[in-house]
Structure 1
């Protein structure tokens, strides 16, 4: 993408100077300092988890809508995560769920958090997402497209909502209402305010022009951060870098990436490539002096695996959250190219994502053994540190 220059206006400089003079009680209304971020991170165990969607849900709607919310299944599956020593999960929400039934949505999130706490898991909650279907519709969802990766996932907001700036106050109500409801809840690890915000979307859908998408998101993303901060959340805010080169050179970041770097309390990022790439990404992000969590990784056919990524992350004290936990309606065992050629006749022997079959059987025992061993070692080291 074409890099964009950034200029600090007098108003922005005044805002920064004013924020530095704020009393401690209002410290959470501005980006955390690196020292604050490290103080928070120092209290955490080595963070290990998965991006989580329960087996019977094809997308965010089916996970959270009242008629398909499945706490029994969630309880069982988070028990498997606890068995691996995982202590976090990254879980996606959706603005339309709030618009439909805010009180019911909050109640179901509270139920989920209670289940997660039972299994010693503190999730990262994701507010918005720019991936896959740009035309989300509540209600009954279509069945999975055979042999196709993540065929029901929906964007939040979709194309129409992103382009309708007059309608953005409803997103303000969503962010303030939801973050405000759980801002002091210690069961939540962090808020990921927008997943891959400048992603065009992917799949076979009609997506917005790349530059139009970047321009609209660059307007809305800073407001999402600001709305969340008005609620003084105890948890850090973040939005993860995921593509392009030169993350350590601000003048090479696009408009959306610059917001991500300048507003995130902790640095999060994605990497689905070979271990050399992962290590280089970690080193490049050290320039920001903040704790790091790798919030998406592990695509076996793409060179990103547990046996290569986990030791690197542990070496640099970077948290890790792989894509995919249990094989279900999302079908993320299928590779990305299944959108061009669905794997209907011959499913791939090598799973792209996911750890468990729907009955709890591991796809590869060696992987779960490694995760268990490394989380146990990390827990022992954390206990000794205390």
Structure 2
């Protein structure tokens, strides 16, 4: 299997050989054997309501265990058993020991609520120039106005920085490689995304090619520390995910190196099911690591029953309304909702006080997860 993986890596990116101590990519049998032991995984993409981005969630002066405990308690009460949570390489560069200690605290809180965590190592979305320390306030009425890319444009373009990125991946994954509280590692969110922001951010030159050259090594670095959890990176654009000749260079690496397959879909349920089946064609477990944008046709009642039908892990975007302001739609980058609320919330499940935006959604999540997994104990 390792030989096949090396051939795939060479074909797609000309990567060097895997480190000698790297574990093999899981076979389909290993991946499906792991997944058969999991409950139906249902949760959200999570950052606590007082955090505008990864930095405010994890930095020492703004890390908020009390708030996290409250919110994960709300999640458990509605039947959720997993969360997808973003890290950032600069957090590690500036305070590796502190970051890992706070990750441990977070995992203890999650475990108390019987919630397993998928950590995301890198992300190509939103602001390409991340800055640590105190973060700017939210732009009024704008969706996700403070989110930061990782590693960011400067580090992505500077190969002399790649040693730090390698050390970050190996230390974080290696430190938690045998941790049963972690369900999976998402090594790079939407790696071939140009960034978003409706023109607010300067595009990173040659970004997709740079990412295509780095994504394979990121998989290798994570695999080299022998994690017991699967690695993945999710496809999110395009229409022909089951046809490898239609995939771009980044997507080919995602498909070739993911132990379990993952994807994003913010479309109507017919499209969600079509994309899910395309991902299922690879014969590996499938995780929908982002979905649910009400104004775009992606809803709990449309997509969640499909996930249950095929036992696809389901992570909706957004949990508690807060500083990320993802109740606002994507078009808020061009017309901020400063004088009115959106007609319907785009993302998020709960208001800041824990009350459901739509009680019927919470009841549905609770009902479907109970049907699949039994009542929470």
TM-score scaled by length of structure 2:
0.94
Residues 1:201 and 2:195 are matched in the alignment:
yes
Map Cα deviations across residues 110-166 of structure 1 (whole Å, 9 max, x no partner).
000000000000010000000000000000000000000000000001111100012
Partner of 2:326: 332
Does 141-150 or 373-382 show the bigger shift?
A: 373-382
The DSSP-based 3-state class of the residue aligned with 2:281 is helix
Count the aligned residue pairs. 366
The DSSP-based 3-state class of the residue aligned with 1:155 is coil
Change (3 A) 1:79 1:271: same
Between the aligned partners of 1:357 and 1:35, the Cα distance in structure 2 is 42
Q: Is this contact kept in 2: 1:270–1:294, CA < 8 A?
A: yes
Matches within 5 A, 1:134-149: 134-149=128-143
Q: Is this contact kept in 2: 1:132–1:201, CA < 8 A?
A: yes
Structure 1 stretches of 4+ moved >6 Å: 9-13
Q: Equivalent of 2:300, from 306, 309, 312?
A: 306
Residues 1:365 and 2:325 are matched in the alignment:
no
Residues 1:232 and 2:229 are matched in the alignment:
no
The DSSP-based 3-state class of the residue aligned with 1:366 is helix
Matches within 5 A, 1:369-384: 369-380=363-374
Deviation, structure 1 residue 286 = 2.0
Q: Is this contact kept in 1: 2:350–2:357, CA < 8 A?
A: yes
Partner of 2:3: none
Residues 1:182 and 2:172 are matched in the alignment:
no
Q: Is this contact kept in 1: 2:79–2:376, CA < 8 A?
A: no
Matches within 5 A, 1:196-345: 196-203=190-197, 204-209=200-205, 212-345=206-339
Partner of 1:30: 24
Partner of 1:89: 83
Between the aligned partners of 1:11 and 1:76, the Cα distance in structure 2 is 47
Residues 1:119 and 2:108 are matched in the alignment:
no
Between the aligned partners of 1:233 and 1:273, the Cα distance in structure 2 is 33
Between the aligned partners of 2:260 and 2:302, the Cα distance in structure 1 is 24
Between the aligned partners of 1:8 and 1:32, the Cα distance in structure 2 is 16
Q: Equivalent of 1:48, from 31, 34, 42?
A: 42
Between the aligned partners of 1:259 and 1:8, the Cα distance in structure 2 is 11
Partner of 1:4: none
Partner of 2:68: 74
Structure 2 stretches of 5 or more lacking a match? 1-5
Map Cα deviations across residues 219-250 of structure 1 (whole Å, 9 max, x no partner).
10000000001100000000000101210010
Map Cα deviations across residues 273-311 of structure 1 (whole Å, 9 max, x no partner).
000000110111222100001000000000000001011
Q: Is this contact kept in 2: 1:45–1:382, CA < 8 A?
A: no
Structure 1 stretches of 5 or more lacking a match? 1-6
Between the aligned partners of 1:218 and 1:11, the Cα distance in structure 2 is 12
Q: Is this contact kept in 2: 1:355–1:364, CA < 8 A?
A: yes
Q: Is this contact kept in 1: 2:8–2:256, CA < 8 A?
A: no
Q: Is this contact kept in 2: 1:239–1:268, CA < 8 A?
A: yes
Between the aligned partners of 1:148 and 1:63, the Cα distance in structure 2 is 19
Between the aligned partners of 1:99 and 1:380, the Cα distance in structure 2 is 42
The DSSP-based 3-state class of the residue aligned with 1:127 is strand
Q: Equivalent of 1:39, from 33, 37, 62?
A: 33
Query: Aligned Cα RMSD in Å?
Result: 2.1
Between the aligned partners of 1:143 and 1:10, the Cα distance in structure 2 is 41
Partner of 1:132: 126
Between the aligned partners of 1:253 and 1:31, the Cα distance in structure 2 is 20
Between the aligned partners of 1:130 and 1:380, the Cα distance in structure 2 is 37
Q: Is this contact kept in 2: 1:192–1:238, CA < 8 A?
A: yes
Between the aligned partners of 1:173 and 1:375, the Cα distance in structure 2 is 38
Between the aligned partners of 2:36 and 2:203, the Cα distance in structure 1 is 41
TM-score scaled by length of structure 1:
0.92
Deviation, structure 1 residue 380 = 2.9
Between the aligned partners of 2:137 and 2:8, the Cα distance in structure 1 is 50
Q: Is this contact kept in 1: 2:9–2:253, CA < 8 A?
A: no
